[in-house]
């Protein structure tokens, strides 16, 4: 979605009320490990599969899909998009990789192993993030609504309004399915929402303020964006647009405010 060249951490009011005041749990983090990440990658989509990261990058003329070695950040395979497309979220489904674009209402289906283009499809409105729950593809479009797609036909089957204590949560960006919840970056913040996929209610907030230290901000970086989950080992990874590092983190529940 939109470009922000300076990291701006907004108040919690930008995406709903103060979570702990409403009884919604809040989590901090511990960094388990920091891995190299391509500082020229404008990360829009991210997932982990069979020992590798798959990354979708954005910006017109710089958008791509990539297979990346986690430990070194080495790009093992890459396919560039035509410059008229601004790449957004990506996700796997069976032997395919799906990608959406920001404002061109165009999506692409690739062979997951070879990145060969299989077909193109269309959808209304903007495309931001993608994930899947094993039965459905889940898409964000920057609003408070998540869209559900049939993964074979890529037709919309329903929508879900995301709320925090009854208030809509907008600017929902990159998505990841994690142990039965939808994790969602909130654009322009260092916060990730944990969303109940049945009700749309935010059941937790993850605060990643300060995870990218000042020593890694010597060149231009952009906002936190990119969540990947290794379901086999339970590892959780996060990064950002133009960040030189990708982090494996462990969540730490914060004590309620007095």
Give tens-digit pLDDT for 175-197. Answer: 999 999 999 999 999 999 999 99
Predicted structure pTM score: 0.90
Annotate 9-22 with b (16+ C-beta within 10 A) or e (fewer): eeebebbbeebeee
Strand order across the beta sheet in which 117-122 lies = 87-93, 96-101, 106-111, 117-122
Q: What is the distance between the alpha carbons of residues 201 and 161, in angstroms, rounded to a whole number?
A: 8
pLDDT digits (tens, 9 = 90+) for 122-175: 999 999 999 999 999 999 999 999 999 999 999 999 999 999 999 999 999 999
User: How far is CA 120 from each of CA 77, 109, 165, 168, rounded to the nearest angstrom?
Assistant: 20, 6, 39, 32
Q: Domains plus CATH for the chain?
A: 20-253 (2.120.10.30)
Mean pLDDT value of segment 103-120? 97
Q: Which pLDDT band, with edges at 50, 70 and 90, does 258 fall under?
A: low
Mean pLDDT (the chain) is 91
| pLDDT score at 219 | 82
Annotate 41-55 with b (16+ C-beta within 10 A) or e (fewer): bbbbbbbbeeeebbb
């Amino acid at each position: 979605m939109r470009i922000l060249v300076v990291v701006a951490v907004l108040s919690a009011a930008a995406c709903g009320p103060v979570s702990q005041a409403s009884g919604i749990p809040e989590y901090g983090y511990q960094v388990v490990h920091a891995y190299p990440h391509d500082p020229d990658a404008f990360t829009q989509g991210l997932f982990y599969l069979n020992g590798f990261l798959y990354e979708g990058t954005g910006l017109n003329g710089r958008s791509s899909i990539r297979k990346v070695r986690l430990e070194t950040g080495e790009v093992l395979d890459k396919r560039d998009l035509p410059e008229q497309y601004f790449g957004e979220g990506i996700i796997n489904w069976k032997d395919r990789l799906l990608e959406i674009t920001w404002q061109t209402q165009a999506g692409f289906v690739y062979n997951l192993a070879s990145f060969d283009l299989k077909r193109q499809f269309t959808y209304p409105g903007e495309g931001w993030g993608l994930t899947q729950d094993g039965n459905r593809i889940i898409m964000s479009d920057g609003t408070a609504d998540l869209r559900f797609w049939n993964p074979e036909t890529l037709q919309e089957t329903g929508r879900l309004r995301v709320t925090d204590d009854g208030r809509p949560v907008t600017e929902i960006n990159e998505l990841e399915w994690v142990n039965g919840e939808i994790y969602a970056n909130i654009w322009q913040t260092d916060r990730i929402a944990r969303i109940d996929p049945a009700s749309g209610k935010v059941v937790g907030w993850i605060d990643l303020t300060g995870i990218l230290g000042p020593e890694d901000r010597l060149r231009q970086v952009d906002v936190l964006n990119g969540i990947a989950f290794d379901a086999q080992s339970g590892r959780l990874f996060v990064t950002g647009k133009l960040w030189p590092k990708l982090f494996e983190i462990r969540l730490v529940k914060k004590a309620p405010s007095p």
